[in-house]
Amino acid sequence: MLFTHYNFSVLSFVTLILAAVTNSVLITLICSKSSKIIGGYRYIMISFGIFNVLYSLTAFFSHPKVILIEASYMAYSGNFRGELKSVGYFSLSVFIAMYGLSTFLLAIHFVYRYVIICRPNHCYLFSSLKWKVAWVVFTLLWGLTYFSINFFIFAPSERYRDFARATVLSRANYTIDELGFFCVFIYEIIDGETIIYISYCVGLFIMVVMMFFTFVVMICCGIQIIRALERISLSSKTRNLQHQLLRALIVQATIPFIFSYLPRFLMFAFVIKGSSRNAFSAFVPYTIALYTFLDPIAIIAFIPSFRKKIFDLRRCREVVNAVSRTKPDFSLRY
């Protein structure tokens, strides 16, 4: 258990450092003069980069650890226990809110590209001050909804504490009363009778619908963008830029689908089925956080101007190192 806890602590710390470094590099490239051709899209990319670092930070501090118990799962904070368990519970709710925000911000990426390419007459949706404020409000409300579901609906009941007490002690080596955690308790079977806990079911349903909605938005917008790029007439330079951004965006969506959407959907499926796949669920919080540094790498790799900037800086560094290693010859020649 100590070995596992140590490795997960190291993994979350490494993820935080990598997210800070890669997103800082991306933001620097976006702010450089060579990237101004991206236009207003750069502000969305910058906000997403800043958010990735904050998301990794909440994952590091909350250190979520998941346990599946029959038709339920609980996530407890590995950093805050005992007298600080309320801090752990709050930090986990913030972590889930940040996850919800990540899905919404990613969907905004696709909506923005869709409006620019397919509905240019509606560019005011991202240019006018009124709509900019509206998008900020929508984003905050989306995250607040995730937070509220986690903090209020997924709050542990006394029934769940009694239900999970023995299992938590055997698997986590902690008593359940010293942990700050939230839980999703779908149902339990007592003497052959299935008892369904409605509030947890409603909270899980809302969260799954919100996840599914953002995923559908990304798919629909992506398909429409691809069709529009094949249909409309653009200059070769503009078309190449749009294709580069689209490829980067598709990779941006693929990475969280593999590391974020899919693991959570599988975990929810295991919970509904009543299957305790703890070997899988233990890695879910960390796979979710991995894309915070994989996404900026994908963007840099798929946008040539960013990639060229990195290579140019690398070549400059090699030249500087070569010059510094050269010994000057001050001998006098006659």
Using alpha carbons, select from 47, 68, 140 the residue that is nearest to residue 285: 68
Most confident of 151-155, 220-224, 233-237, 330-334: 151-155
> What domains are there in the chain, each with its CATH number?
2-304 (1.20.1070.10)
Least confident piece of the model among 52-61, 198-207, 210-219, 299-308: 299-308
Q: Are 51 and 20 in contact (CB under 8 A)?
A: no
pLDDT at 62: 92
* The token pair that represents 243 in the structure block: 């294709």
- Model confidence at 324, in pLDDT bands (50, 70, 90)? low
Q: How confident is the model over 123-142, as pLDDT tens digits?
A: 999 989 999 999 999 999 99
Mean pLDDT in residue range 220-244: 78
195 burial (CB, 10 Å; 0-12 / 13-18 / 19+) is exposed
Cα–Cα distance, 243 to 13 (Å, whole number): 35
pLDDT at 19: 93
**CA 332 to chain CA centroid, nearest Å:** 64
pLDDT at 186: 95
Q: Are 95 and 199 in contact (CB under 8 A)?
A: no
Please report, as a single letter, which amino acid is at residue 312.
Answer: D
Q: Are 185 and 200 in contact (CB under 8 A)?
A: yes
3 state SS of 331: coil
Measured CA to CA in angstroms, residue 139 lies from 97, 106, 107, 203, 207 at distances of 11, 11, 11, 19, 15
pLDDT at 306: 82
pLDDT at 100: 92
Q: How confident is the model over 97-119, as pLDDT tens digits?
A: 999 998 899 899 899 989 988 99
pLDDT at 242: 72
pLDDT at 315 over 70: no
Mean pLDDT in residue range 43-69: 90
Q: What percent of the chain has pLDDT over 70?
A: 86
- Model confidence at 35, in pLDDT bands (50, 70, 90)? low
